Amino acid sequence: MTVTAVEPDRQRERDGHTPPSLRHRLAEKGIDRTLLLLLPALAFIVVLFLYPFFYGLQLSFQPATGGAFANYAEFFSDPYLRNTVWTTLGLGLPAALFNVLASVPIAYLMRTMMRGRRTLTTILVVPITLGTVLTSQGLIIYAGPKGWLNQILLGSGLIDEPLVLIHNWIGVFLSLVITGFPFAYLLTLSYISGIDPSLDKAAATLGAGPWQRFSSITMPLLVPGLMITFILSFVLAFSVFPSAQLVGDPSGSTRVISIAAYEAAFQQFDYPMGSTMAMIMAMIMLVVIGLVMVWRTAFYRGSTGGKG
């Protein structure tokens, strides 16, 4: 369609009658009317992402009292608020790292497994359909003081008192692993499946063992994809809220920054402070993402997946 539309313009240009039209100049740069199909997606991004972000950013500089940066100064000067950043990082980073590292061996084995692969994959990704609330409820039923796990351990005489596995850091971490691992596993499986199997076979014919093939071929090609998986897993874990409320200690060891933002906005009705905390969350996530992307660029410059 583009070539036909600009052909008369090209003929007139060759004849020296008229200069090239705007459509012709845009077509030469690969821009035509089909790009208008992107407008709905751009409108979606603007309405649901960009406008709320910039509105919240503007609101954060409109504190009830003080100057424009009064809310930021109050947040970082108050230890009770400031510590929520470290609490959230202390949950998000380990959970994301564990999910990514645990997904690697399982995805590597699943790549070569023929029988039962779909069934096992389905079982592993079922927690995605449960949601955070159902996962937390399951943890309470299974790992609570009167849950199945403690009842079995107490009945067998292995422990004298119930294990404290919920309403603390462990409960939130377990919830983040249960809900985040399937996501990390699917991404890792897609990356590892994209690595050309002939590379592994060629190394085997040269005498390389399984560990040598994995450490020297598969892992270097997989690391860039794992960094992307870590970023997405971290973003999901860092924004934890229901788990920290239901199976954590929301006023103590698991008082994450999202809980503090919720309390400021919907309990104290201080929307500028709530927006300030949301902006701080966004800045922290952007810093972590930026550091990982810089490391990814320095680590590997080729094409991810071993196909390039």
Q: What is the pLDDT of residues 264-282, one digit of tens each?
A: 999 999 999 999 999 999 9
The whole-model pTM stands at 0.81
* Span 137-146, pLDDT tens digits: 899 999 988 8
pLDDT band for position 97 (cuts 50, 70, 90): very high
From CA 148, how far away is CA 263, in angstroms rounded? 34
* pLDDT for position 58: 93
Does residue 303 register a pLDDT over 70? no
Domains and CATH numbers, the chain: 70-125+179-299 (1.10.3720.10)
18 pLDDT more than 90: no
Percent of the chain at pLDDT exceeding 70: 86
pLDDT band at residue 262 using 50, 70 and 90 as cut-offs: very high
Q: What is the 3-state secondary structure (H, E, C) of the chain?
A: CHHHHHHHHHHHHHHCCCCCCHHHHHHHCCCCHHHHHHHHHHHHHHHHHHHHHHHHHHHHCCCCCCCCCHHHHHHHHCHHHHHHHHHHHHHHHHHHHHHHHHHHHHHHHHHHCCCCHHHHHHHHHHHHHHHHHHHHHHHHHHHCCCCHHHHHHHHHCCCCCCCCCCCCHHHHHHHHHHHHHHHHHHHHHHHHHCCCHHHHHHHHHCCCCHHHHHHHHHHHHHHHHHHHHHHHHHHHHHCCCHHHHHCCCCCCCCCCHHHHHHHHHHHCCCHHHHHHHHHHHHHHHHHHHHHHHHHHHHHCCCCCCCCC
Report pLDDT for 62: 92
**pLDDT higher than 70, residue 131:** yes
167 backbone dihedrals φ, ψ, rounded to 5°? 60, 35
Q: Residue 20's pLDDT is what?
A: 65
Dihedrals φ, ψ of 24, to 5°? -65, -45
Report which of residues 296 and 5 the model is more confident about: 296
Please tell me the predicted confidence (pLDDT) of residue 123.
Answer: 84
